[in-house]
Structure 1
Amino acid sequence: MSLQARLDAFKADFEAGNPPYNMSPAMIATMHRATAALIESGAAENARQVGDKAPSFELKDPEGRVVRSEDLLEYGPLIVSFYRGVWCPYCNMELQALEAAKPAFERLGASLVAISPQTAPNSRKSVRQNRLTFPILSDTRGDIGAAFGLRFSLPPDLVDLYKTLKNDLPTFNDDPSWSLPMPARYLIGQDGTILYADVNPDYTRRPEPEALIAVLEAHQPTSA
Structure 2
Amino acid sequence: MTSTNTTIAQRVELMHQSMTGQIPESALAAFGAEQADLTSDGIPEGVARAGTAMPDADLLDVHGNPTGLYAAFAGKPAVLVIYRGAWCPYCNLALRAYEEQLAPALTERGIGLIALSPQKPDGSLTMAEKNDLTFTVLSDPGNQIARALGVLTAPTDQVREAQRSLGLDLSAFNADNGYGLPMPTVLVIDGDRTIRWIDVHPNYATRTETTDILTALDILD
TM-score by length of 1: 0.87
> 1:85, 1:116 within 8 Å by CA — same for their partners in 2?
yes
- Give 5+ residue unaligned stretches, structure 1: none
Q: Secondary structure in 2 aligned to 1:141?
A: coil
What does 1:1-224 correspond to in 2, within 5 Å?
1-14=6-19, 16-17=20-21, 21-24=22-25, 26-100=26-100, 101-220=102-221
- Give 5+ residue unaligned stretches, structure 2: 1-5
> 2:53, 2:194 within 8 Å by CA — same for their partners in 1?
yes
CA separation of 1:35 and 1:45: change in aligned 2, threshold 3 A? farther
Give the CA deviation at 1:94.
0.8
> 1:11, 1:204 within 8 Å by CA — same for their partners in 2?
no
Give the CA deviation at 1:86.
0.9
Q: Secondary structure in 1 aligned to 2:186?
A: strand
- Which runs of 4 or more aligned residues in structure 1 lie more than 6 Å from their structure 2 counterparts after TM superposition? none
Letter aligned with residue 113 of structure 1: I
| Cα separation, 2, equivalents of 1:156 and 1:43 | 21
> 2:118, 2:139 within 8 Å by CA — same for their partners in 1?
yes
Q: CA RMSD in A?
A: 1.9
> 2:12, 2:205 within 8 Å by CA — same for their partners in 1?
yes
Letter aligned with residue 132 of structure 2: R
Q: How many residue pairs end up in the alignment? A: 215
Letter aligned with residue 122 of structure 2: P
> 2:51, 2:194 within 8 Å by CA — same for their partners in 1?
yes
Identity of aligned residues (%): 30
